[in-house]
Chain A
Amino acid sequence: DTGVSQDPRHKITKRGQNVTFRCDPISEHNRLYWYRQTLGQGPEFLTYFQNEAQLEKSRLLSDRFSAERPKGSFSTLEIQRTEQGDSAMYLCASSPRLGGIDTQYFGPGTRLTVL
C-alpha cells in the first residue's frame, strides 16, 4: 500500500504564471484534502473532496485557485496568475470512507516559490 504522492515536489515560477499540482491519494480513500502551509505556521485547510464532489472550500481559496478530482481518484490544484504571497508548501491528504476516526494521511507536499 503506497502512501499519498504529490507531484512536483518543488516548483519555481514567475509571478503571473499558472501552476498545477497533482495529488494521488492512498487507493480506496474516498476523501481528499488540500492544505497550505506557510513558513512558521501549521497547515491551513483549502478544500476537500468526497469522491469527485468538492464539498467545502475555505475562504483562503481565492478565485485564482481551482481544484478538481474528476474521477474520484487523483486531484489537481491549479493556481492562476500566481502572486508572491502564494509561495508556500501545498499539502494533500487522504482519508478512508466514513466510519472511524477519519485519520488524514499526508503526502510529501509541493513547495511553491513565486519569484
Chain B
Amino acid sequence: AQKITQTQPGMFVQEKEAVTLDCTYDTSDPSYGLFWYKQPSSGEMIFLIYQGSYDQQNATEGRYSLNFQKARKSANLVISASQLGDSAMYFCAMRDQMNSGNTPLVFGKGTRLSVIA
C-alpha cells in the first residue's frame, strides 16, 4: 500500500533563508509520481512541483526544488529565499500506477511552515 510520511509537524525559517521540508514514501510500484502542494490558511491546495520516479534529474520550479533520493525513498522539498507569503501548510503526495493514469493521490499529514521576518 502507498504511504507518505512527513515527520516535521512544524518548521520555522528566517525570511530569505532556505528551508527543507522532509517527505518519505513507500510503494511497491516502480512507476509513481511525487507531488508537493501548498495550503494557505484560505484552504485551497496549490500545486507546486512534481517528480516522476523515472526522472533522472531533480525537479525545479522557480524557488522550489525537489531533492529526490530514490534509494532512500525520499522526496524533500527545498524552498530557497523564503518569503513571508510562504507561510502555509505543505503536503507531500504520491500517485502510483502512473501508466494507468487513474489513481488518486495519497497525502502525508503535512508540515506547517512559518517564515519569520
Is A62 close to B, CB under 8 A?
no
Tell me if B44 and A104 are in contact (CB < 8 A).
no
Tell me if B101 and A109 are in contact (CB < 8 A).
no
User: What's the Cα separation between A15 and B52 when bound, in Å?
Assistant: 43
Known: A99-B101, A108-B42, A109-B43. A42 touches B52 (CB 8 A): no
The 0/1 profile, CB within 8 Å of A marked 1, for residues 81-117 of chain B is 0000000000101010010011011111110000000
What is the interface size of chain B, counting residues whose CB is below 8 A from a CB of the partner?
25
Across-interface contacts of B18 in A (CB, < 8 A):
none
Is B37 close to A, CB under 8 A?
yes
Tell me if B37 and A106 are in contact (CB < 8 A).
yes
What is the interface size of chain A, counting residues whose CB is below 8 A from a CB of the partner?
29
User: What's the Cα separation between A48 and B47 when bound, in Å?
Assistant: 19
Q: Which 10 residue pairs spanning A and B have beta carbons closest together?
A: A42-B107, A106-B45, A45-B104, A98-B101, A108-B44, A109-B43, A42-B91, A43-B107, A102-B101, A101-B50
Interface residues of A (CB under 8 A from B): 31, 33, 35, 40-45, 48, 50, 55-56, 58, 89, 91, 93, 98-99, 101-109, 111
